[in-house]
């Protein structure tokens, strides 16, 4: 690095590093680990500082690197330092939380916030000002230990941790919606052995306008500014810059805005498809088996699989935060270590082949539990009269 670049980088680290660490902590990482992730991103930026500093400024690029470090991080930080509870922010979907935190703390233009988080800031939402104020207050309380630019620049990229045990430990505990499917589905005949196949690119139609998340209607899957001709989509989740869907034939496919598609596997009939957007993981119950398979959608790498056990009132191993007399009807999780469940009474499930609501049922309970601390918060109870519960993915 040239002397001028070194001096400029040192000035940037001194000015921006404390705020970056605090903002990452507000995203849900413990303060100590937030500093580690920030330093990794800054070290990467420092290696190409002459290019990073060009244009309107390096902030957006540094944040891109920082969010990338956080998304691909495999450190088991919750064993050492739990994240700080943030009741309002912990209830947000990860992309929305990132959008709000960037809007409140990063000082970036709205278009940069949208490009980084996948959603546009929502000043018209009456809840936004209160949540942004909570973000600022939480950030102000985060302690930041100093570190020089030279120490940051000397950091090397961390070795990739083994992902299999972590994926299974987290995802098997969190994706209880898949296990609920197993307990409530009717018996299906075994699937015939599938012949290996490849899906070709989809027809692409360019659009003038777009929305922050993929969506599907009338035989077209919209990703960014592209409408892909993809018939028969049954399940759909967003992963980073693409989408993963399952169709009527049970195929699980990743598709991006260019129309390129990658066959990831096949799901059992009626099985849920669950995605973790920031890391790009997808999980489903494999066709012809009771195995949960977890795949990195970016390249189709299988991260792990295990036989899925049903969840119910008589099970000996309910998920964390769910009592033996309760049923986890749906669940969604985030990289912040929070699991949100929809909880039903054991009496609300009549049997493995039937789902019914009783007139005397107490309704559905919304509960959030935190992996790191083990604590849970019950938010509210709602009527069960209007159909089965569903959490946004």
Calpha distance 41→35 (Å, rounded)? 10
Q: Report the sign of the C-alpha dihedral through residues 127, 129, 131, 132, in that order.
A: positive
Structure-block tokens of residue 13: 């680290």
Report the pLDDT value the prediction gives residue 263, as an integer from 0 to 100.
Answer: 94
Residue 127 above 50 pLDDT? Answer: yes
The full DSSP string for 216-231 is EETTEEEETTEEEE-T
Residue 185 above 50 pLDDT? Answer: no
Calpha distance 204→215 (Å, rounded)? 15
Structure-block tokens of residue 98: 């990132």
Calpha distance 392→50 (Å, rounded)? 42
pTM, 2 dp: 0.47
Report the pLDDT value the prediction gives residue 66, as an integer from 0 to 100.
Answer: 92
- Measured from the Cβ of residue 20, the count of other Cβ atoms closer than 10 Å reads 24
Residue 181 above 50 pLDDT? Answer: no
Residue 182 above 50 pLDDT? Answer: no
Average pLDDT, the chain: 76
DSSP code for 329: E
Q: Which residues pair with 340 in a beta bridge?
A: 332, 368
Calpha distance 71→281 (Å, rounded)? 11
Residue 109 above 60 pLDDT? Answer: yes
Mean per-residue pLDDT for 119-140?
Answer: 85
Calpha distance 46→69 (Å, rounded)? 15
Calpha distance 143→74 (Å, rounded)? 23
Q: Return the closest-CA partner of residue 176 out of 305, 308, 314, 264.
A: 308
| 187: confidence class by pLDDT, cuts 50, 70, 90 | very low
- Measured from the Cβ of residue 383, the count of other Cβ atoms closer than 10 Å reads 10
Calpha distance 368→377 (Å, rounded)? 5
Calpha distance 253→282 (Å, rounded)? 10
**Is residue 111 helix, strand or coil?**
helix
Calpha distance 52→59 (Å, rounded)? 9
3-class SS letters over the chain: CCHHHHHHHHHHHHHHHHHHHHHHHHHCCCHHHHHHHHHHHHHHHHHCHHHHCCCCCCHHHHHHHHHHHHHHCCCCHHHCCCCCCCCCHHHCCHHHHHHHHHHHHCCCCHHHHHHHHCCCCCCCCCCHHHHHHHHHHHHHCCCCCCCCHHHHHCCCCCCCCCCHHHHHHHHHHHCHHHHHHHHHCCCCCCCCCCCCCCCCCCEEEECCCCCCCCEEECCEEEECCEEEECCCEEEEEEECCEEEEEECCCEEEEEECCCCEEEEEEECCCCCEEEECCCCEEEEEECCCCEEEEEECCCCEEEEEEECCCCCCCCCCCCCCCCCCEEEEEEEECCCCEEEEEEEEHHHCCECCECCCCCCCCCEEEEEEECCCCCEEEEEEECCCCCCCCCCC
Q: Which residues pair with 221 in a beta bridge?
A: 216, 228
Greater model confidence, 57 or 151: 151
DSSP code for 286: B
Calpha distance 322→367 (Å, rounded)? 9
Structure-block tokens of residue 213: 């998340």
Q: What is the pLDDT of residues 11-63, one digit of tens each?
A: 999 999 999 999 999 998 888 889 999 999 999 999 889 888 876 679 999 99
Q: What is the pLDDT of residues 206-252, one digit of tens each?
A: 988 777 778 888 889 999 889 999 998 988 988 878 999 999 889 99
Q: Are 24 and 34 in contact (CB under 8 A)?
A: yes
Report the pLDDT value the prediction gives residue 13, as an integer from 0 to 100.
Answer: 92
Q: Are 235 and 268 in contact (CB under 8 A)?
A: no
Q: What is the pLDDT of residues 250-268, one digit of tens each?
A: 999 999 999 999 999 998 8
Q: Return the closest-CA partner of residue 332 out of 178, 183, 155, 198.
A: 178
């Amino acid at each position: 690095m040239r002397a001028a670049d070194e001096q400029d980088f040192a000035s940037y680290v001194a000015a921006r590093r404390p705020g970056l660490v605090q903002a990452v902590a507000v995203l849900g990482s413990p303060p100590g680990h937030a500093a580690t992730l920030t330093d990794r991103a800054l070290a990467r930026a420092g290696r190409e500082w002459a290019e990073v500093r060009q244009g309107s400024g390096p902030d957006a690029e540094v944040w891109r690197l920082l969010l990338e470090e956080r998304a691909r991080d495999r450190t088991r930080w919750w064993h050492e330092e739990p994240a700080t509870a943030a009741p309002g922010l912990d209830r947000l979907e990860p992309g929305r939380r990132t959008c709000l935190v960037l809007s409140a703390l990063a000082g970036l233009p709205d278009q940069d916030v949208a490009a980084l988080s996948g959603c546009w800031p929502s000043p018209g939402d009456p809840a936004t000002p209160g949540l942004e104020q909570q973000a600022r207050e939480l950030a102000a309380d985060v302690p930041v230990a100093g570190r020089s630019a030279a120490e940051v620049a000397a950091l090397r990229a961390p070795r990739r941790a083994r992902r299999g045990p972590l994926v299974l430990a987290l995802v098997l505990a969190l994706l209880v919606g898949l296990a609920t499917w197993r307990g409530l589905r009717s018996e299906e005949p075994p699937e015939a052995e599938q012949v290996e196949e490849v899906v070709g690119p989809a027809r692409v139609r360019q659009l003038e306008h777009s929305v922050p998340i993929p969506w599907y209607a009338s035989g077209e899957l919209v990703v960014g500014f592209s409408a892909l001709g993809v018939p028969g989509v049954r399940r759909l989740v967003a992963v980073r810059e693409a989408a993963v869907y399952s169709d009527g034939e049970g195929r699980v496919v990743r598709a991006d805005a260019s129309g390129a598609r990658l066959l990831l596997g096949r799901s059992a009939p009626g099985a849920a498809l669950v995605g973790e957007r920031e890391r790009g993981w997808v999980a489903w119950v494999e066709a012809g088996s009771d195995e949960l398979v977890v795949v990195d959608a970016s390249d189709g790498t299988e991260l792990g699989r295990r036989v899925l056990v049903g969840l119910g009132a008589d099970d000996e191993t309910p998920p964390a935060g769910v009592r033996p007399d309760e049923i986890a009807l749906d669940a969604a999780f985030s990289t912040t270590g929070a699991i949100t469940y929809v909880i039903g009474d054991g009496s609300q499930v009549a049997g493995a082949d039937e789902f019914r609501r009783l007139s005397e049922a107490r309704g559905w309970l919304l509960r959030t539990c935190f992996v790191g601390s083990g604590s849970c918060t019950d938010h509210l109870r709602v009527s069960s009269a209007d159909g089965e519960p569903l959490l946004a993915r």
